[in-house]
Amino acid sequence: MFELVFLGTSASAPSIQRGLSSAIVMANEHRFMIDCGEGTQRQILRSGLGFRRLDRILLTHGHLDHILGLGGLASTLGRWEALEELNIYGGASTLQRVHALMEVVFGAGQMPRVGISLNLLEPGLLFEGKQFTLTAFPVKHRGEGCFGFVFEEKTRRPFLADRAEALGIPHGPVRRELAQGHAVTLPDGRQIHPDQVLGEPQRGAKLCFVGDVSHTGPLHKVAEGADLLAVEATYLEADKALARQHGHITAAAAARLARNAGVKHLVLHHVSRRYTVQEILAEAQAIFPDTSVANDFDLFRVTKHKGVSWTNLRRC
């Protein structure tokens, strides 16, 4: 299961209801922040999530509305010594801006006690846990070094309890070994192979996160079959000329991407103050009905079998 929490969902500038771009993906004991707009650390406190295990920050690109909160967050973590390290990932131009920002906050050559590591993003596998992988992929926006991210549970073979019962396999460590793919020898001398009690491989949950983007064509393959696709919707189709001019897409374009990629659920974020949520939803749902518009503090749970569920942390 993946949990996606939106901390800020506004485009370019904050509004009374929406902070600037930031989100957190939680997978097992791991946390990954995606972007860190101005005011993000206060949003973390308001969400109730806190700063624990928040040691990896993924940056979609280097525009200020996506990175300006890093200075304050790093300063807080450094003063509180809440973390031993803070790993920030981004494209080359993004990391240059982040480095300059850190020098403004801490002074040239001065870093806080929490070790800040700036890591160059490249397309491909970024992180692998026991149960999931995190992959970075390039997107087109304005300039080089823009990225999106895919969180995907590893393929697994379900343990078939009825077959185990028929074979007289006792409960406990023996079944656990078989579930992990290891052959076992029973007390009566029989050797049992995993294939005897495991079903066909089943793909796990897939969450695809895209920030600012100007062209959706290259994204169809990477988003294919995602249980949840989160992508910007800065403009409506009536203003698609503006969208092209500023390197963004419309709600309709995001919906077409979701439909053509066979996505299960679409979540729109990075929304402009010029439109109402109802206008954005109407345009997208006319093309792809399973669409939501994210609000700050919305939490989406993504599972393969139960699909996507939603709650808001401030309303719980």
* Among the listed residues 75, 13, 1, 36, the one whose alpha carbon sits nearest the alpha carbon of residue 234: 13
Residue 210 tokens, joined = 């895209």
* 289 three-class SS: coil
| Alpha carbons 20 and 7: distance in angstroms, whole number | 8
Task: Say whether pTM exceeds 0.75.
Answer: yes
- pLDDT of amino acid 160: 86
| Alpha carbons 251 and 271: distance in angstroms, whole number | 9
Q: What is the mean pLDDT, run by run of 10 residues, along the chain of 316 residues? A: 97 94 96 97 94 92 96 83 81 95 82 78 96 97 94 89 88 87 88 87 93 95 97 97 96 98 98 96 98 98 90 80
Specify whether the CB–CB gap between 36 and 22 falls below 8 A.
yes
| Alpha carbons 131 and 61: distance in angstroms, whole number | 27
- pLDDT of amino acid 52: 85
How far apart, in Å, are the Cα atoms of 47 and each of 75, 82, 165, 232? Answer: 20, 18, 46, 22
Q: Which residues lie below 8 Å from residue 207, measured CB to CB, with a gap of 6+?
A: 2, 4, 25, 150, 151, 152, 226, 227, 228, 230, 302
Residue 193 tokens, joined = 């192979």
- pLDDT of amino acid 314: 78
195 given a catalytic annotation = no
Active-site residue among 55, 65, 227, 298? 65
If residue 260 lies in a helix (H) or strand (E), which one and from where to where? helix 251-260
What architecture (CATH level 2) is domain 2-156+205-312?
Answer: 4-Layer Sandwich (3.60)
Domain limits, the chain: 2-156+205-312, 161-196
How far apart, in Å, are the Cα atoms of 309 and each of 24, 59, 267, 290? Answer: 16, 26, 12, 12
- pLDDT of amino acid 316: 56
Name the β-bridge partners of 129. none
CA angle 22, 28, 30 (to 5 degrees): 50
Annotated binding site: 61, 63, 65-66, 141, 212, 270
| Alpha carbons 208 and 266: distance in angstroms, whole number | 10
Q: Where are the alpha helices (DSSP H) in 49-118?
A: 64-67, 70-80, 92-106
Name the β-bridge partners of 232. 269
Of the chain, the end-to-end C-alpha distance in Å amounts to 20
Annotated binding site for Zn(2+): 61, 63, 65-66, 141, 212, 270
Backbone phi and psi for residue 149, each to the nearest 5 degrees, phi listed first:
-140, 140
The one-letter amino acid at 224: E
Specify whether the CB–CB gap between 231 and 257 falls below 8 A.
yes
